[in-house]
A and B are shown apart, each in its own frame.
Chain A
Amino acid sequence: MADELRVDSGALIFATLADVYLSSGMIEEAISILKDGLARNPNYHLAKIILARAYCLKGDCEKAIEAIEPIYDEVKSDESANLCLGHCYFKLGDNEKAKKYYEEALKINAENADAIRALEQLVPKPVVEPEIAAPEVELPAEPRKEEVLQIDEISAVPSAAAPVMEEPEPVEETPEAVIQELPEKTAEVESVPLEALDKPAKRLLDLETVKSVVISTKDGLLIKHYGKAEDDIESICASVAAICLDVDESFRMLKRGGLTRCIIEKSDETLCVMVVGDSLLTVTTKVETKPGLVFIYARKIIEEIEEILG
């Protein structure tokens, strides 16, 4: 039972990783990992919402809607799902539906700035009559009306018939601009501060014999890389993942515990691989390295990875 729980919780980390990819602008990678993860966990709604966001950012609004609408009843209380649908319908020109979903998002969180902003573009504000000043001061009424009309002319709101008094720069807030801000502001999954790994990784790289530090998923996908840029960094990730998978399967045959770490010695370098939850930390070193020292220095990174990626 404990093993099953471990596998299940591990399997769901792909959504977190995908969110990191999205935050980094790696939309295709995010879509790929989400599709793969959803094939294994088809009922993981949060992943579907993130997938929809990814499609929305990619500009494929139909697919984004397809991802959420079948499960909308179950996720209707989710702020980002509603916001994503709102953005998609806005982009598709269906302002009625867009308005409906933005309003739903605001019901969940009345302070959602994206929804407020987007809704302002859909629903023109009622005309605010200029306040009548004190009787002794006469306001120049005509110039103000012209100013209002000018603003109305350049507004991007298609149905804005009535003049708007406030916000002199509504043009900048195009739907695209709003959507670009989406991943940071509406992320359901907490953003993953991988920068926290920089310090311990650099400390490890300070060791003379250490060439690079690579963090990847157990599936062989690169998460982060420190040190010398190697052309084949992704193939190293895939190779190490394949080796770890083989070892894990082999020891399962022996009914013994799975892999925790591994030292692979090549003629020109040594790979020290550590399993951290669902991630692999691979430290590439020179042949003359002291693996014990690498493992000690890597401990801090392992703690950080455990905290961040689980």
Chain B
Amino acid sequence: MAALDQTQVKEGIDQETVDTVREVGGAYKYGWETEIEMEYAPKGLSPDIVRLISEKNEEPEWMTEWRLQAYERWLTKEEPNWAMVDYPEIDFQDQYYYARPKSMEVKPKSLDEVDPKLLETYKKLGIPLKEQMILAGVEGAEDAPAEGRKVAVDAVFDSVSVGTTFQAELKAAGVIFCSISEAIREHPELVKKYLGTVVPVSDNFYATLNSAVFSDGSFVYVPPGVRCPMELSTYFRINAENTGQFERTLIIADKGSYVSYLEGCTAPARDIAQLHAAVVEIIVEEDAEVKYSTVQNWYPGDENGKGGIYNFVTKRADCRGDRSKIMWTQVETGSAVTWKYPSCILRGNESQGEFYSIAIANNYQQADTGTKMVHLGKNTKSRIVSKGISAGHAQNTYRGLVSMHPKAKNARNYTQCDSLLIGNKCGAHTVPYIEVKNNSARVEHEATTSKVDDEQLFYCRSRGMDEEEAVALVVNGFCKDVLQALPMEFAMEAQQLVAISLEGSVG
């Protein structure tokens, strides 16, 4: 009986997907722009800009130095060109590296003082009212009664974290969840100890750039033995024009702790491409477990490939302790160009890394994404399930590395890469790299490529579904293994996104 009731819940989700698709009816859902007075730093990148960003965030000297060193490194680095993506050269001096809503300069005392445009933005993003108040920085908002399930939210609006919800409750559990700029001020010992230890300053061109100019982002510390009492969530939104968003996220799960972290991203529709270069570092100590889920729907550009976000992201988790676990789940439907490989360093013995990915590329989107599983410890295990969907003129590449080091005795990897093509002008590519340096390691790789065939669509349509419902149903079926790995609320959102991002892909 319990099993059947569960079926009922799942039925509900599917229906909601279909409803939302109908309501939304085509265009990019988050493509609006909020007219808020912004404070910008001058365009371009220089040591002065780096100092300015640091100063605006009221950072200590050591942090400013750290950034400046990164800037010097960046000058010597070259943009990577090995990915299967093609975009016009980016003029890094023609970008704003810092922008923030003017109203954030002084914290508002009540909801009336909050820029109503900002509240409107949160509302459109689907953030509940109480969280809206907290995010807007209204005093006393924390004590207001909450509706529904608790999710602590941190919102980053252009460059600045505008507020984190449920601070008090998290504090009681000993969990620190705040903006990274606050963490630098309030918890320098933690930040100093961990920042840049998973993704070194000189890791790659974009990570180095991020290290110099990151303006905000989220910080999480879960103390030993603590199971974080709620899901932590961050919304990133790029609003201002010609602005790069460079957020930095640092998550530390101390011994025996657990945390589930959700990340959602949107941006307004613009003709000119915008840059997004984030870094996420995760440290997982002994017996700790971290789940990191992303629903990325940055503006993908219009149907002719104009505009959109260039998403160049470095995400890496270091499973330092024995028996530690990391699970990356990503649903990538947005961005004009995606360059992203959330990776797992499996250092601790018996540590485990999992990577579940759905990457959808429609129209002229290009996605080059995958993961790296670096097995260093004994009996380490990893699992990769990648579902790539290409439609329109899009190119979608899975690029993954599985590396079994000499000491990784009895390490195991299982990789499954499935590609689905819609139409005949798109492409799917699978580029698996496998390095095995010990005899006891075992690596399995399975790959399939299939098409949404006319027979399937006709079958659905002959039962009464229209073409878009039919495509959404078939594609959601294809992605099922990954959708199941997402937390419930995210799974719903992801299903809707899958449907929305493929609208107009057939016929």
Partners in one complex: no
Name B's A-contacting residues (CB within 8 A).
none
